Structure 1
Amino acid sequence: MPEKHLSRAFDASLDALSTHLMEMGGLVEMQIERCLRLLNAYDPALALQIRDSERVLNSLEIEIDDEIQHVIARRQPAACDLRLLMAMSKCVTNLERMGDEARKISKRMRHISESGEAASFQVAELKKCGEMVHSVLHRVLDAFARMDTVDAARIVRDDKAIDELFRSFSRRLAMQMNAVPRTISVALEYLFIAKALERIGDHAKSIAEFLVFVVKGRDVRHLPLDELEREALAN
């Protein structure tokens, strides 16, 4: 991922950080896959795996951030290298928060399973949202590994589609709650799941924005999408 430097030790440190970051990302991908499986059928064993993996992600966040701090202290990097290390730290935080959201989804699906009301709901939109979130996460990790700002800009745009699916599903849930009041409690559980997926998409978008920051040297958070895309595509 990073460019080579005169110091082999510095390169080795950056390569190790990149490897650990991608390992953490792969674990989060697995968490999202497990959540998608829970949406199809609740499995207590799968829920336990999500809980245990979330604890591993918490430990990885601390470990990787500690490595980053040591590299900054020892190497005193400047310019692009410092941006890269800052972005890595931000990515680690976003990945850990994705793991938190996966754990929330697992808990909500347990509540839904215990209610016996899952069959009362059509969740095709929710599953599609989950699949899109999983795809966006995979793509942003790949883009970060290649420092690909073009793909990063596409990911930011795709997050808008995830947001729209969330809004559409939320509107349909509100209609069902009005029509069938006895389903309100379970509908709210599904709403919390949809919001968790939407937040995971937001975290993936944040990683894409930090990627543009690393390569282009400009903080593109909060910019209009068209301006972000121009920055990402500029030579």
Structure 2
Amino acid sequence: MSIMEGNKLTGGLAMASTTRQGFQNSLEELQQNILRMGSIVEQTIAKSVECLAKQDDKMAAEVVEGDVVVDDLELLIENQCLKLIATQQPMAKDLRKIAAGFKIITDLERMADYSVDIARTAQRILATGQPLIKPLIDIPRMAELAQVMVKQSLDAYVREDTELAYRVARADDQIDSLHNQVFRELLVLMMEDPKTINQATHLLFVSRYLERIADHATNIAEDAIYLVTGERKELND
């Protein structure tokens, strides 16, 4: 091999290494933005249930108005994913990581929408001028557990941790159990006092929204498993 050919080979390897490093940096930036979006969603879930428990109309309005931040982040991350696919033509696990990112932001956006639904439900209850028909115990528990599920599902994706992903699925069973308990308690209240039917129905919807948020967190856990194994695993049953 001539000196010129050797220099060309060395230069080519250096360029490939630089390109690969740039791609890895872009992937890390993508994941950081997904984590940022997830953190905002966690806070939104917490505030939506807090405004219901505290009967705080101002906080409810903040949740509704803040949804645009999540929507903007979804668009930003979507464009990042498209750019990476178009310019880098990723293969195998790299491609799965980006594809999973696409799905994850859709699930996060839906969680934010459900949080807005909870805040709007709180506003409707407030508008009646009636106090809560029962202390909120299981609904805040559901919200706290849902927040943990969101965080753990995203950590499972970033760390490529399948065991953590399965832990999220097990937590979803707890959410389902709490949802069923809320349903039974509110059903008894409605049967005993028809005047509670309107608010009880609203609270049932809140419980249902939280149950759906947990389902979306489980979807993200499925994406984490897909990233690692290349196989789709159904965890929502």
- TM-score normalised by structure 2 residue count: 0.88
- Gaps of at least 5 residues in structure 1 are 225-235
Q: How does 1:89-108 map to 2 (within 5 A)?
A: 89-108=102-121
Structure 1 range deviating more: 44-53 or 28-37: 44-53
Cα gap change, 1:223/1:156 in structure 2, threshold over 3 Å: closer, same or farther?
Answer: closer
Q: Tell me if structure 1 keeps the 8 A contact 2:114–2:209.
A: yes
Deviations 1:162-212 (A, max 9, x none): 011101111211121111111111111101110110011001000001000
Q: Read off the aligned partner of 1:88 and give its amino acid letter.
A: G
Q: How does 1:47-62 map to 2 (within 5 A)?
A: 47-62=60-75
Q: 1:229 corresponds to which residue?
A: none
Q: Tell me if structure 2 keeps the 8 A contact 1:101–1:197.
A: yes
Q: 2:79 corresponds to which residue?
A: 66
Q: 1:146 corresponds to which residue?
A: 159
Partner of residue 161 from structure 1, selected from 154, 174, 179 = 174
Q: Secondary structure at the match of 2:132?
A: helix
Alpha-carbon distance in 2 for matches of 1:172, 1:44 = 26
Matched, 1:46 2:59: yes
Partner of residue 13 from structure 1, selected from 26, 40, 49 = 26
Partner of residue 205 from structure 1, selected from 192, 209, 218 = 218
Alpha-carbon distance in 2 for matches of 1:161, 1:9 = 42
Alpha-carbon shift at residue 129 of structure 1 (Å): 1.2
Q: 1:179 corresponds to which residue?
A: 192
- TM-score normalised by structure 1 residue count: 0.89
- Gaps of at least 5 residues in structure 2 are 1-16
Q: Read off the aligned partner of 1:212 and give its amino acid letter.
A: I
Q: Tell me if structure 2 keeps the 8 A contact 1:39–1:109.
A: yes
Alpha-carbon shift at residue 103 of structure 1 (Å): 0.3
Alpha-carbon distance in 1 for matches of 2:58, 2:126 = 14
Alpha-carbon shift at residue 154 of structure 1 (Å): 0.8
Structure having the higher Rg: 2
Partner of residue 98 from structure 2, selected from 57, 74, 85 = 85
Alpha-carbon distance in 1 for matches of 2:158, 2:58 = 32
